[in-house]
Amino acid sequence: MIPQSQADVIFADWQDELSHAIKTPALLLQMLGLEDRLQAIDAESLKNFPLRVTQSYINKMHYGDVSDPLLRQVFPLIDENIEVEGFSADPVGDHLAISSPGILHKYQGRALLLTTGACAIHCRYCFRRHFPYSESNPLASQWQQSIAALQKDSSIREVIFSGGDPLALTDTKLAAMVEDLEKIPHIKRLRIHTRLPLVLPKRVTKNLLSWISNSTLRVVMVIHANHANEIDAETAEALLQLRNAGCELLNQAVFLRGVNDNAESLIALSERLSEVQVVPYYLHLLDKVKGASHFDVAEQQGIELIAAMRRELPGYLVPRLVREQQGEASKTIIA
């Protein structure tokens, strides 16, 4: 981990830490003792998808380790400029799935709301790194139109808050959104996809826990941890608080070259998730987004690693290996 003298930064609250997120590659490398790696920076990619990473996440990285699996997830490399056939700006068909402003309707019974384009960190493999959020943000001016669309479709039983990261919004805004959803009788569940408990644990506030515990909806949170090192003591405590508030916790990892593309890392992740009582639900094959080809791992390798996990772990700790394919009625289960 980074030296305590560098990690010992005190922030007033989660918004204070978020406002001080590191956005300069040279500064991040300096903090990790890796100044000599400046030639690896992809300046062109930074124009379209800037570096952004919180101090909490940096604190979990290993000082002096250029191959640190957390650093690899956020650091822009020259490899992002490589053009690879089959990698596109919209690999999972999000644009085609927009049914009304900010609402993606891909699967039966579920509607996904793009609540914000903001994130606490920018993961370089993000499948929405090219998404036009300014054109598809229901909170910008069309929230009531989105609510009206949900009211009209009685087949929708679950609403998914996605983004960006929905927990980048304030508790006041989130609580108001949830209150509107609770008034729609056919909506029974709220699912929140977020990285913030991992990268900004202070985001789990009393107000957040309050509206979760008081909601009439069943609240499920999907936390996107890709490596065991992302779950330190502070994150474990945040997850405990969420569970105590009645939140069901699942994990969806992405299968990433140089991050978790070996049995040891995947087994350690499942074991750590078990310790903090999070279900290891999915291991996603990489969505083939332009700029992320250097993270791609062959499907067959994923199948072999899932088999290795089954030999070492009880079945409930082995995630399902899946791929999202445009136009399919659900995730495609590979293994």
Residue stretches of the annotated binding site: 119, 123, 126
Kindly state the DSSP code that residue 293 receives in the 8-state scheme. Answer: G
Neighbours of 168 (CB within 10 A): 22
Strand 158-162 vs strand 110-114: parallel, antiparallel, or unpaired? parallel
Beta bridge partners of 100: 103
Binding site as annotated, residues for [4Fe-4S] cluster:
119, 123, 126
The DSSP 8-state label assigned to residue 121 in this structure reads: S
Relative to beta strand 218-222, strand 189-193 is parallel
Question: 142 burial class (0-12, 13-18, 19+ CB within 10 angstroms)?
Answer: middle
Are the beta carbons of 129 and 291 closer than 8 angstroms?
yes
Number of other CB atoms surrounding residue 125 within 10 Å: 25
DSSP 59-109: TTSPTT-TT-HHHHHH--BGGGG---TT-BS-TT-TGGGEEETTEE--STT
Instruction: Please state whether the peptide bond connecting residue 109 to the residue before it is cis, i.e. omega within 30 degrees of 0.
Output: no
SS3 280: strand
Judge whether 184 and 151 are in contact, CB under 8 Å: yes
